[in-house]
């Protein structure tokens, strides 16, 4: 066997081993997408009911604009930006797209004279800001593919503490969140959402024909808002973590499928080149035999 043919066959074995790994990672990501979707669907009814209760409490309160979590600061100087990325790579442009959206938001805030402090979820985002020696208000790693409510509660507590703290003690005037919205198995897009202060909108909602729930507040709507709003923030973060996790798995599945397809194409190309090299060796051997026979007969 010629040296060139050995090189081709060694490369084919190497690509086949890589193909097995990428195929396995594709199957794992596919199974985890389903679980992430189920957890996301299970969390949405609670968030919807919580939103309805908060809307009812806000309607019954005397002046919600004075609530600490709803009051807009006239002199905004600092803002917290929660950026949700991945702990692991091999997910295509999932983390880079989220970071790109976060950097655009930070530039817009800077243009308004607001200093943005990133609170980063995922090792990819932490490495991005740490490499650039950027200040971070908090880092959270180790759970991006399977987040729990305890993780969301920890992040929400840190953000609420920063929001409630005075500006001269490192507090922030508003909180934004950058996450990846899971639209479908093939479409995931980064989105920006302002979490605090909450915006109160007066609108007329058309009746759906179903009876609206009646709420009685004890001791009063203001006390109910004090209890429900932190839960709303925490559950909003939890839903964003679940949606980002589903998007991460979908992006990894897509990247691994592309890698598997590319490995198959490369194996076909290398096999064809190996066959050509083998045929060239056979042709050369036949030519040598014929030439040797002619020399002996002469």
How many separate domains does the chain show? 1
Q: Which helix (H) or strand (E) holds 177?
A: strand 174-182
Whether 150 maps to a domain, the answer reads yes
How many Å apart are CA 224 and CA 206, to the nearest integer? 26
Whether 258 maps to a domain, the answer reads no
Q: Which residues pair with 78 in a beta bridge?
A: 115
Residue recorded with tokens 């709420």: 215
Whether 54 maps to a domain, the answer reads no
Q: What is the CATH number of the domain that holds 138?
A: 3.40.1380.10
Per-residue pLDDT of the chain (298 residues; tens, 9 = 90+): 567 788 888 899 999 999 999 999 999 988 888 888 888 888 888 888 878 777 777 665 555 556 666 666 667 788 999 999 999 888 888 999 999 999 999 999 999 888 899 999 999 999 999 999 998 989 999 898 889 999 999 999 999 888 888 777 778 888 999 999 988 888 889 999 888 887 655 454 455 556 666 666 667 667 777 777 888 888 989 999 999 999 999 999 999 999 999 999 999 998 888 888 888 777 877 777 777 777 777 6
Q: Are 66 and 73 in contact (CB under 8 A)?
A: no
Claim: this prediction has a pTM higher than 0.85 = no
Whether 118 maps to a domain, the answer reads yes
The closest of 9, 20, 19 to 273, measured between CA atoms, is 9
- Could you give the strand order of the β-sheet that contains 115-121, starting from the edge strand earlier in sequence? 138-140, 115-121, 78-84, 174-182, 188-196
Helix, strand, coil distribution of the chain in percent, nearest 5: 60, 10, 25
Whether 34 maps to a domain, the answer reads no
Whether 285 maps to a domain, the answer reads no
Predicted pLDDT of residue 289: 78
Predicted pLDDT of residue 122: 92
Whether 100 maps to a domain, the answer reads yes
């Amino acid at each position: 066997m010629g040296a060139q043919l050995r090189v081709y066959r060694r490369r084919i074995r190497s690509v086949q081993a890589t193909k097995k790994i990428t195929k396995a990672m594709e199957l794992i990501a596919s199974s985890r997408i389903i679980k992430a979707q189920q957890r996301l669907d299970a969390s949405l009814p609670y968030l919807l009911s919580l939103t309805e209760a908060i809307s009812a409490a806000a309607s019954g309160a005397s002046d919600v604009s004075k609530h600490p979590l709803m009051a807009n600061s006239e002199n905004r100087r600092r803002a917290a930006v929660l950026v949700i990325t991945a702990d692991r790579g091999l997910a295509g442009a999932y983390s880079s797209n989220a970071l790109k959206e976060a950097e655009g938001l930070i530039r817009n805030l800077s243009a308004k004279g607001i200093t943005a402090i990133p609170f980063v979820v995922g090792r990819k985002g932490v490495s991005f800001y740490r490499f650039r020696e950027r200040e971070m208000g908090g880092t959270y790693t180790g759970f991006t593919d399977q987040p729990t409510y305890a993780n969301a509660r920890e992040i929400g507590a840190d953000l609420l503490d920063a929001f409630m703290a005075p500006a001269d003690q490192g507090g922030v005037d508003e909180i934004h969140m950058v996450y990846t919205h899971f639209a479908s198995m093939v479409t995931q897009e980064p989105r920006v959402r302002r979490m605090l202060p909450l915006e109160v909108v007066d609108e007329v909602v058309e009746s759906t024909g179903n009876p609206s729930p009646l709420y009685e507040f004890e001791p009063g709507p203001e006390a109910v808002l004090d209890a429900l709003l932190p839960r709303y923030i925490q559950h909003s973060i939890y839903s964003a973590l679940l949606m980002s996790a589903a998007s991460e798995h979908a992006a990894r599945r897509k990247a691994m499928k592309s890698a598997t397809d590319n490995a198959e194409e490369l194996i076909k190309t290398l096999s064809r080149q190996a066959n050509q090299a083998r045929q060239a060796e056979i042709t050369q051997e036949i030519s040598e035999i014929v030439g040797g026979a002619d020399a002996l007969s002469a």
